[in-house]
Amino acid sequence: MNAASKERAPSAQETFTQMAQTAGLRARVLVTIGLLILARLGVYLPLPGIDRLRFAESLKSNQAIGFLDIFSGGGISAVGVFALGILPYINASIIIQLLTTALPALEKLQKEEGEAGRRKISQITRYVALGWGVIQSVGIAFWLNNFVITPSPLFVPSTAIALVAGSMFIMWISELITERGIGNGASLLIFINIVAVFPKSLADTFDQAKTGGNQVLINVLILLAVFLVTIVCIVFIQEGSRQIPIISAKRQVGRRLYRERTSYLPLRLIQGGVMPIIFASSVMALPQGLSGFTRPAEGVTQNQFMSALHSGANAVANAMNPEGSTPWIYLGVYMVLIIFFSYFYSTLVVNPIDMAQNLKKMGASIPGIRPGQATSKYIEGVLNRLTILGACFLGAVAIIPGIIESALHITTFRGFGATSLLILVGVAIETAKQIQTYVISQRYEGMVKQ
């Protein structure tokens, strides 16, 4: 095996051959598939004692729950034990990332204590996920109490415990996939949940095209073409990067002289991947979800605080309704949130000061830029320009297909739109890269054995 074959990216044929023949990689793939199937089966374990017909009727007018239902793979609409899915763990991860930048103790754990520090942060994230899951489970249990067939004082605590247990089980599965599978456990669970609801949306779209006449068929074809173009744009955005040239100084180690070399420092167009769009969408769904949770049941009189909370949440939800009278408010706030979280995640992923210090330690520099503070300012400027460009592209890709969908009056993909496509394509690319990393490692293991 020559150097060129070692460094080139593995082909699709080589990847599938390694997956079939190499015991280690094959075991990881089988473990991942088995755990994903287990997670999907748990969605259909129903919570007892709920009038599902009345509950299904209430979901038709709640866009926020429809959005969250996609991430749970239909667990909320099925009123299953895994209704919360991986959402508490994702929210906890976001909270810990926010606190890491604000609390020096957490920042020290992450940067200075190595693997032990990362394990401590993972444990803290699990505790936060448990607390967040308890809060969400109690809220959902009180909400489901409005649809109980036979009222019981034990319904709320028993339902909350079942939902928390299901969420913690899903969190455990995601960590197993990350450690013993092919990695990206939480992302793969979201991926499989979104894929699970896609066939229904596609079947409803074809039914609408059959019964709606030629114009509806043309509109469906136009929308599918827009989705295909969106996928291509997402791939370019996900893979886009700026390569900053770096020159390594000539140095001598022992008797060996290393000549001056030129390499590149790659900065991705979107440092945060799909996380900015996930978090922005969750924030946008919050007012309508809060309005639904605080809506009084039939024949129940609310206290003054709950009534004011419901009125405020309902007003915000109506103002930011994409199908209401002010859709431009929804689009504007959505774009601002995407840009904000793109900047936030870029600061988490890339630290220009640390990067400049590492370059200085390695004896490398950017041509025309002095080492140290000048290098960090240069990298920060490039990163800011890339982030604003990537965030605008990300927002456009997220918003434009929805606008076209509304203009064409195709509502069967409602909830499954550009946001879902962004997540699907992003996770697919990251998973493919992870598998290719294992294949490349097998090359080097084979070379060492020889």
pLDDT of 2 reads 43
pLDDT of 346 reads 81
CB count in 10 Å sphere of residue 303: 8
SS3 state at 324:
coil
Q: What is the mean pLDDT of each run of 10 residues along the chain (450 residues)?
A: 50 70 80 90 84 77 63 75 85 81 78 78 91 86 83 88 92 91 84 80 74 75 80 78 79 59 79 74 69 57 64 71 68 84 79 84 82 87 87 80 72 61 79 79 57
Closest CA to 159 of 138, 176, 177, 178: 138
Closest CA to 279 of 160, 375, 423: 423
Tell me the domains of the chain and their CATH numbers.
23-199 (1.10.3370.10)
CB count in 10 Å sphere of residue 106: 19
Phi-psi region of 79 (alpha: psi -120 to 50; beta: other; left: phi over 0): left
C-alpha 441/C-alpha 425 separation (Å) is: 24
Q: Which residues contact 254 (CB under 8 A, 6 or more apart)?
A: none
pLDDT of 237 reads 77
Helix, strand, coil tally for the chain in percent (to 5): 70, 5, 20
The residue type found at 106 is L
pTM: 0.75
C-alpha 54/C-alpha 298 separation (Å) is: 12
pLDDT of 3 reads 42
C-alpha 427/C-alpha 414 separation (Å) is: 21
| 427 in Cβ contact with 190 (< 8 Å) | yes
Q: Which residues contact 339 (CB under 8 A, 6 or more apart)?
A: 388, 391, 392, 395
| 35 in Cβ contact with 176 (< 8 Å) | yes
Residues 181, 418, 59, 137, CA torsion sign: positive
Residue 243 CA: distances (Å) to CA of 69, 114, 266, 370, 383: 39, 28, 4, 18, 11
The residue type found at 20 is A
Token pair belonging to 414: 């409602």
pLDDT of 270 reads 78
C-alpha 188/C-alpha 370 separation (Å) is: 43
- Name 245's bridge partners: 264
SS3 state at 365:
strand
| 246 in Cβ contact with 359 (< 8 Å) | yes
